[in-house]
Structure 1
Amino acid sequence: MPRLSPADVPTVKLDSAAGAIEASLTREMRRALFEKPGRVVFAIVELTSKSYTGHAEQEDKDPEVKVRVTSCEVALSDEDAAALADAKRAMWRGRQIDGTLDEVGEGPQRPDAALLDVTAGKPTEGELKAHRRRVEDQRRAEFVR
């Protein structure tokens, strides 16, 4: 694994594979993004580093890391969008207080804590599994008829 000196700050580039984002957007959202330049969509994304350059001592390149969006969930309602906007602002305030806006570092240790109010009203993993079982049971019952 490459080691950077404390003075090195890698440039972050977004990988062109955006399938996770596209899969999360509804047809209407895609059309709105195309037809209304400047349209904003709020999402929670998971970034995974995929490659890096400029790590060898003899390299004459600045360090760079490519990240890919490996998971994405888009706010489908105005309430979810407002909650994500509030969470984003709360995280930004935390970074201001922590002094991590302009430096590389861990940043807020619990960014998910800002989303607890949002997730409180959403289905749990158990509820999702129960829903899937009900749907499957319904399909079987319809197939038997």
Structure 2
Amino acid sequence: MPKIDKDAQVEVRLDSAAGLLEASLTDEQRRGLFEHPGMRVIAIVELASVQYTGHADGEDKAPQVKLRIKLAEAAQDHDQARLVLEVMRAMMRRRKMNGTLDEIGPGTRDAEHAVAAALAAHPTEGEFEEHTERDAARRRRGSRIEQHG
């Protein structure tokens, strides 16, 4: 990978492949986005750089990096949206405290606390695995009953 000057402003472009984001939206959200221009959906995404463009020394163009959505989850209701927005505000407050953001919003100043509080009502990975195992066992029992019936 090429190295660029530490003060260079890198332009970020979003790759057009948004299938993962589309898959995380409900049918109602998709229709709403189409029918109501300006409607917003709150989502958490994981981005990966997939392409970069550098320029020769002396060129008056900023280096560019293209990002692709690798994982995406959209808030499915107002409570989830509120929690994600609180985490976002906490992260923005951290940037403000670090001097990388000009405005600060209301609420707590601890991003880790806000994340823990936001996730407290959501299942852990272990709880999800237990649910998956119980669901699979229930389906196995159901298929055995159907076979014997």
Q: TM-score of the superposition, structure 2-length normalised?
A: 0.83
In 1: Cα distance, 2:88 partner to 2:81 partner: 10
Q: How big is the shift at 1:7?
A: 2.3
Question: What's the secondary structure of 2:39's corresponding residue?
Answer: coil
In 1: Cα distance, 2:112 partner to 2:35 partner: 33
**Structure 1 pair 67–16 and aligned structure 2 pair: CA distance change class (3 A):** same
Gaps of 5+ in 2: 103-109
**Structure 1 pair 39–120 and aligned structure 2 pair: CA distance change class (3 A):** same
Question: What's the secondary structure of 2:70's corresponding residue?
Answer: strand
CA contact (8 A) 1:2 1:55 kept: no
**Structure 1 pair 71–112 and aligned structure 2 pair: CA distance change class (3 A):** farther
Query: 1:28-107 residue pairs with structure 2 within 5 A?
Result: 28-54=28-54, 57=57, 61-101=61-101
CA contact (8 A) 1:10 1:65 kept: yes
Q: How big is the shift at 1:57?
A: 4.4
Q: How many residues align?
A: 138
**Offset from partner CA, 1:55-99 (integer Å, 9 cap, x none):** 554877421000011111111121111111222222222212211
**Structure 1 pair 53–67 and aligned structure 2 pair: CA distance change class (3 A):** same
**RMSD, aligned α-carbons:** 2.0
In 2: Cα distance, 1:130 partner to 1:91 partner: 31
% identical aligned pairs: 46
Q: Which 4+ stretches in 1 moved above 2 angstroms?
A: 55-62, 110-114
Q: TM-score of the superposition, structure 1-length normalised?
A: 0.85
**Structure 1 pair 112–16 and aligned structure 2 pair: CA distance change class (3 A):** farther
Could you tell me which amino acid in structure 1 is paired with residue 38 of structure 2?
G
